[in-house]
Every structure is written in structure tokens, then in C-alpha cells.
Chains A and B, each alone.
Chain A
């Protein structure tokens, strides 16, 4: 479908059409940060934020999620038997999600849904019920490195619609079949609009070229053991606190724990975010720990995201360059510097 135009003063009608069947969420200022929250009115939509503090992965992979329940009573005829949780009961729109976050869910699709057996119904259900309306970045932030990892400020990967802010109006690119239905009623974009969008894209990419960029080509060529045994890891791990901040704010990190909880006659099995840099993560019941030192765990996270995922997922990198970990790491470990060392 051709690109369309949506005037900003026509936004309320556009949102009303979405709201017939969806709950709309958008980044909104809460305290000092932008966070994802339900959109109450069109006027609350923000166009000039950089990105939300945490990624929106919570919408598909909640921090804690009940997977199944059971009656915690052996005397009950159905007792101790697990019953799956009901699917999501609402359809949602994530409005103004940044292209890096939208692409991240495409990467996670490759991990949560691999084949007939490894097909996560909890992830898939939420993905199928959520429309992503992305907002292109005209003014990338200094810690962003999306163009180094196969993404970009106007990337179309992973979204259903991509909006480009032209000032008083938005260029609407249809980036998936599902998105087409919502752009049908809009006017076609003119040549001037297309030209302006292209200029904004180039300006954003030029700005990104001035940021610290990252090379990944040599990582792809090196063998696993060559990267694994490289002495660089002896330095990288030292300041890491194993706190997990990078993992929690990251749009592509997805490690989780499964725990059973009971309260009286109620029982449930939940999945919670976990982080591979925690010492308990891989510890066997016997006490043996294959990644018992902090160095081994820190190395694991970078190897997983930049070597193992590309190796197993057809070259896709397990990082979209959003830069949140660069901003939030309490000891200032910069992923860009680590990856450039891996790529040396």
C-alpha cells in the first residue's frame, strides 16, 4: 500500500477508530521518565520524547506472569492437576513505539516461536493481539547505536505502521498486512511529504554516524571458542555487579525463571524475569555451578546476544542498539566498547 498522510489534528478520529477494538498505550511522562501507560485522550500523545526508560517487552513478556493454576488439594478429584491460564482478553495498540523496540519483538519471535514444539503460547497470544504503530526517530539520542546492529531510526522491521513526524502531519508507512487495514481511509502522501521524510531519515542516520558505532562483522567470522577464550573477558567482568539492570531494561533479553507458588488451596506456576548474570541462574542442586564466576556470567551475556543468537537465528543479532543499558548501567559498562573488543 502507498504511504499515507495523517494530519495531527485528525489524530483523535484515527485513535477513535483503533479504540473500537483495542486499548491504546503510549509513552507518557511520569516523574522524570517516559513510561508506557494507557492513553486516555489524543492530546496526551507525545511526539518529542527520546525513548521510554524500560522497553515495552512487558506487554508480551510480563515481569511476572501466571502460566497455569491448580487446586492445591490431593483430595479434590481435579486436585494437583495444572490448568493453563486464560488467554489475553483485550487487543492492544502500542502507539509511538520506537523502531528499535519494534524490531526487538521480531527478534524475540524467532526465539519464543522456533518450531512446532518450541512455540510459546503466552508470547504468541499477546503478539497476535497487539498492533505496533511505530514512530520514526528524527533526533536519535547519543547512546543509540541502532544502525550498527541492523536497525535504523526509520526502520520498518517489526511494526505494523511506521509514522514519520513531518511537523503538523505524519507520514504513515504501512509496514505489515495487519497495518494496512488501519491506513485504508487515509489520504495518499504527496511527493513533497515523501521527500521530507527521506531528508529526516538521512539527517537522523548522519547524526547516528557521529555516535560511537559498533562493528559486528568479525564476530560473525570468528569461531565460538576463539571469542570465548579471548583474554578480553579478564578485564570486562571486573566492574560488573551482576545486578541485572541491563537485562531488565533490554528489549531483547528474555531469560526467565519458573516457580510454583501456593496459598492455602490455591496453587499456580508463574514465570518471572531472571538474569543470566545471577550466580543462582545455573547452579545445580548438587552445588555445581557451570558459570560459577562473575567473569563466566558476564561473558555469557555478551556471547549470547552477539554470537550465539546470530549463529542459531540466521544472523539476527540479539541487540537492537537502543542504548538503554549504556544509560542505566550503574558501573558504566558500555556494551558498545565490549562488542568492539569482541570485534577486534
Chain B
């Protein structure tokens, strides 16, 4: 019988330090068994439980796009027991991946619409997956104009520079990469994400916005969208919470009646407005 608690064995293929303070590292993982790679079919927005035997599991958004092949990319912040161990692991070491878990971004609803992505800090991980997916030749035609607004505290804290520096050169995506304050050597935008969003002023007509970031960014970005006339059903967000089982049983990650691991992590603002504010 299928066991949803059993992780697929994977090997770390590559480790990359993403931020200047070394608090974030990216891990490319390859499946040790081809049948597991086949079984792991995911859509951007979903997450997986990364398993480190002897330490535990952590729920991390999938940063790679399914269009990039069978290997998976995760970007992990060093916070506690499991992530500290993971940060000390190297290419070649064995760990586990369980998933894909949760719901994904609503690509059905997003078809034919303009997509506005607003990302702050390292919440950009699943949005990397989303943008890579949408820009793929097989998918690009399904969507209208794509606007990508992404900010971090300093240039050294921006993730995925290899990717967004390429996106900036394309004409089928509008990129606005910003840092909070002036920084020597930085030639790009300067300003908090909410401020830049206000300047870009994305129109709500036939559009969907994917917003992901720390609570403070959300708090100041939401009014910008309100003022521009966006409706709650058009705004899509992603929650995170402490998790264990990841499949909607153990009772830990719920926000009101919804389990973030199973009914989420993707929720529209319209849904969130009906849920208790316990996140």
C-alpha cells in the first residue's frame, strides 16, 4: 500500500550559497530511483517535505519548474535543527523528499490573463518555479503580459540572480528588481517592494496577482492593490505554517478549518478573508 509518510531517497547534486550572509542555500537534488522521479509530478506552487534522517523533516516550496527536468531545486533558510544540519551537508550525501504536497498556483484560472508577480525576500522560491514554467515555450502563449516585481534588503540577499538577469533581457516579461536602499555597485531600482509596486501600478483588468513575502511586505503591498481596484479573488497568496505530516491529518498547520498543507498553501485573498487570522 502506498505510504505517504515514506520519503523518496535523493542525493544532493549541487549546493549553492545564495545570499551574502550564507543564511540561504540552494540544493539541487536527484532521485536515486528512476520510478520515484517518474512518480514525482508537480506544479509550481507546491511544496515538499525535505527529510534528513535522524533530524526530521521541513516543508519547503519547490523552486525548480517541472520544465527543467527530473532534478528538484529547493532554497532553504537556516533556522533550526533540520535546516542547520542540511546546511552542513554536501553534494553526494543522501537525504529524502516527500511529495509533491499541497495545492499549486491556479494556472487554469490564470490562462489568458496578465500575471503580476510580487515577491519579497526569500519567499520568491515557488515564484521562480512559476516564472520558469510560464516562460517555457510550451507555456508562454497561455498567458498574457507577465510582470515580475522582486525585492530584497540588499543586492547580496537577492536570490536567483542567474535567472532574473536573463529574464531582464527578454521582451516577454517585465522585470522590476529592487533593493531596499542605495548600495554601492547596484545600478538597479531602489525602494521597498510596496513602493515599487505602486510605481509599476499594475492594472487589475483581466489579471491575476501572485503575492508572496514576509508579513510586513504583505501589509504594505495589499493597500496598493486595493487602491488600484484589484478584487480579493484576483489576489493569490501562499501561506506557511509549522508542519509534520504534510497530508492533512496531524492537526498542526490548520488556519481555521483549512489545513495549509492540504487545502493550501495557495489561497486567494477572498478565501483568507473568510479564515481566522491565526497565521
Q: Given A80-B53, A84-B6, does the pair A258, B244 have CB atoms closer than 8 Å?
A: yes
Cα-based distance from A228 to B258 in the complex (angstroms)? 14
Some 11 contacts from A to B, beta carbons below 8 A apart, are: A67-B5, A74-B94, A121-B1, A121-B3, A224-B274, A256-B250, A256-B251, A258-B57, A284-B241, A300-B254, A304-B254
Contact between A255 and B250, CB atoms less than 8 A apart: yes
Q: Given A74-B94, A117-B247, A258-B57, does the pair A284, B242 have CB atoms closer than 8 Å?
A: yes
Since A260-B54, A300-B278, A308-B256 are in contact, a sample of 7 more A-B pairs with Cβ atoms closer than 8 Å, ordered by chain A residue number, is A80-B9, A84-B6, A117-B247, A118-B249, A119-B2, A282-B252, A290-B241
Indicate whether A311 reaches chain B with its CB closer than 8 angstroms: yes
Q: Given A74-B94, A283-B242, does the pair A258, B249 have CB atoms closer than 8 Å?
A: no
The residues of B that contact A308 with a CB separation of less than 8 Å are: 254, 256-257
The residues of B that contact A276 with a CB separation of less than 8 Å are: 251-252
A74, A119, A290 interface centre (most CB from chain B within 10 Å): A290
**Restricting to A253-269, which residues have a CB under 8 Å from any CB of B?**
254-260, 262, 267, 269
Indicate whether B224 reaches chain A with its CB closer than 8 angstroms: no
Contact between B94 and A81, CB atoms less than 8 A apart: yes
B contact patch SS: loop
Indicate whether A291 reaches chain B with its CB closer than 8 angstroms: yes
Indicate whether B197 reaches chain A with its CB closer than 8 angstroms: no
Cα-based distance from A304 to B51 in the complex (angstroms)? 28
The residues of A that contact B245 with a CB separation of less than 8 Å are: 256, 258
Indicate whether B120 reaches chain A with its CB closer than 8 angstroms: no
Q: Given A72-B53, A82-B6, A291-B278, does the pair A111, B249 have CB atoms closer than 8 Å?
A: yes
User: Which residue of the partner chain, among B56, B244, B274, contacts A256 with CB atoms under 8 Å?
Assistant: B244
The residues of B that contact A74 with a CB separation of less than 8 Å are: 93-94
Contact between B250 and A82, CB atoms less than 8 A apart: no
Contact between B262 and A68, CB atoms less than 8 A apart: no
Chain A positions 120 through 142: 1 when the CB is less than 8 Å from some CB of chain B, otherwise 0: 11101100000000000000000
B259 to chain A, nearest CB (A): 9
- B: which residues have CB within 8 A of A? 1-7, 9, 32, 51, 53-57, 79-80, 83, 93-96, 241-242, 244-245, 247-257, 262, 274-276, 278-279
Indicate whether A181 reaches chain B with its CB closer than 8 angstroms: no
The residues of A that contact B95 with a CB separation of less than 8 Å are: 80
User: Which residue of the partner chain, among B2, B51, B80, contacts A121 with CB atoms under 8 Å?
Assistant: B2
User: Which residue of the partner chain, among A84, A125, A267, A285, contacts B54 with CB atoms under 8 Å?
Assistant: A267
Cα-based distance from A194 to B55 in the complex (angstroms)? 58
**Interface size band for A:** 35 or more
Cα-based distance from A189 to B95 in the complex (angstroms)? 61
Contact between A260 and B56, CB atoms less than 8 A apart: yes
B191 to chain A, nearest CB (A): 26
Contact between A118 and B5, CB atoms less than 8 A apart: no
Contact between A281 and B54, CB atoms less than 8 A apart: no
The residues of A that contact B241 with a CB separation of less than 8 Å are: 282, 284, 290
The residues of A that contact B54 with a CB separation of less than 8 Å are: 70, 72, 80, 260, 262, 267
The residues of B that contact A68 with a CB separation of less than 8 Å are: 5-6
Indicate whether A4 reaches chain B with its CB closer than 8 angstroms: no
User: Which residue of the partner chain, among A79, A125, A274, contacts B94 with CB atoms under 8 Å?
Assistant: A79
Contact between B251 and A304, CB atoms less than 8 A apart: yes
Contact between A118 and B250, CB atoms less than 8 A apart: no
Q: Which residue of B has the minimal Cβ distance to A296?
A: B278
Contact between A82 and B96, CB atoms less than 8 A apart: yes
A67, A74, A282, A286 interface centre (most CB from chain B within 10 Å): A282
User: Which residue of the partner chain, among B4, B7, B80, B255, contacts A82 with CB atoms under 8 Å?
Assistant: B7
Cα-based distance from A228 to B256 in the complex (angstroms)? 8
Indicate whether A14 reaches chain B with its CB closer than 8 angstroms: no
Cα-based distance from A114 to B262 in the complex (angstroms)? 11
Q: Given A70-B53, A281-B252, does the pair A224, B275 have CB atoms closer than 8 Å?
A: yes
Contact between B2 and A311, CB atoms less than 8 A apart: no
Contact between A307 and B257, CB atoms less than 8 A apart: yes
The residues of A that contact B252 with a CB separation of less than 8 Å are: 255, 274, 276, 281-282
Cα-based distance from A222 to B160 in the complex (angstroms)? 47
Cα-based distance from A235 to B94 in the complex (angstroms)? 51
Cα-based distance from A312 to B3 in the complex (angstroms)? 23
Cα-based distance from A290 to B264 in the complex (angstroms)? 16
Nearest 4 CB-CB pairs, A to B?
A255-B251, A285-B79, A308-B257, A285-B80
Cα-based distance from A117 to B2 in the complex (angstroms)? 8
Cα-based distance from A276 to B279 in the complex (angstroms)? 15
